[in-house]
Structure 1
Amino acid sequence: MAVDMDDFWVFGYGSLMWNPGFAFTDKMTARAFGYRRSLCVRSFVHRGTPERPGLVLGLDYGGSCRGMAFKVAPEEKDGVIGYLRERELVTHVYKERIMPVLLADGRRVPALAYTIDRAHVQYAGALSVEDAAATVAVSHGKSGANTEYVLNTLAHLKEMGIRDHWLEEVAAAIGRMPPQT
């Protein structure tokens, strides 16, 4: 299948998948290679505090990641990029890049994506299931409990038919922990 080089796609791997916040003309599941979805971003505001950071998703090196690709109309491209920069680049923990993704219909297309900056102070590194669960279980921020974020993410992934075994293991480990007081 040929790709129209004027097509503009955006790849989402977290909340962008179910809450893109912009107009699109098509969407379908897609896979990015060389990156994986990971709870690797310390959240100092929305799901934690500077004293007790939570964890939110980042697209980190290694493996592959199933997510959602959104096709944006040419006349909407500049506005969508502006919106995404406001949404994703607040603290510059993410890097904006164009990367190839494999669409569910077999086409490879370039897509705008936001990957983690491993040199940023908010990068939490590759955590074990236990370490991630222990952090998430005790963190709260202005958008609520970090546990709610993880469980909500998993629920949305399940609705879309996307499995994330590592995130499922983190949620299971949180469920085995004693309640926080």
Structure 2
Amino acid sequence: MTGASWTGWIVGACYLALFFLFSAMAARRMKTPLWLFDTDGQARTSWGFRLGFAVLLVWPLAALPLSGAAIWVGLAGAGAALAMGGQLYMGRSWRIGAAEGKTGALVTGGPFRVSRNPVFVGQILLFWSLVPLAGPVMAGAAVVVTVSAIVQVRIVERVLMSDPAWQGYAARTRRWIGRRA
């Protein structure tokens, strides 16, 4: 495995370690579970993320050599930073999954000013950036994580759509990237 492949793997592994650490810290601070995937048919997206995260940790270490690998590692780092930054910015509103009455305060600042889902955008960028370094299995994981994110966003939006504040936010801010005029 090349140095760039190892670096890409380290970026992904560090992201996952921080994801689980900060999730545990937030749950302890809020004295409530953050993992809400067991509600409202979210089992498939839950397993999609689990599978993607597992592949991120155990991808075949015989990565494909690629010139310009530093670009892919940089993009993976940017994705991990965006995802983790979004999660940290959510503070007490950080949840994993969605359930009526358990959503926390609506977060519209920071990275959420340009995307309603910066955590998922970052995760998707992280996984797809590692495909050239890790090969076909990571491509499969990237597809699964992308589909899981798309489905999960729709579930979260169904939970939030009755909130007038969220309706205004959704009218101003695109689901994935960009503000509306």
Q: Specify which structure has the higher proportion of helix.
A: 2
The structure carrying a bigger strand percent of its residues is 1
Q: What TM-score do the two structures reach when normalised by structure 1?
A: 0.30
- Normalised TM-score (structure 2): 0.30
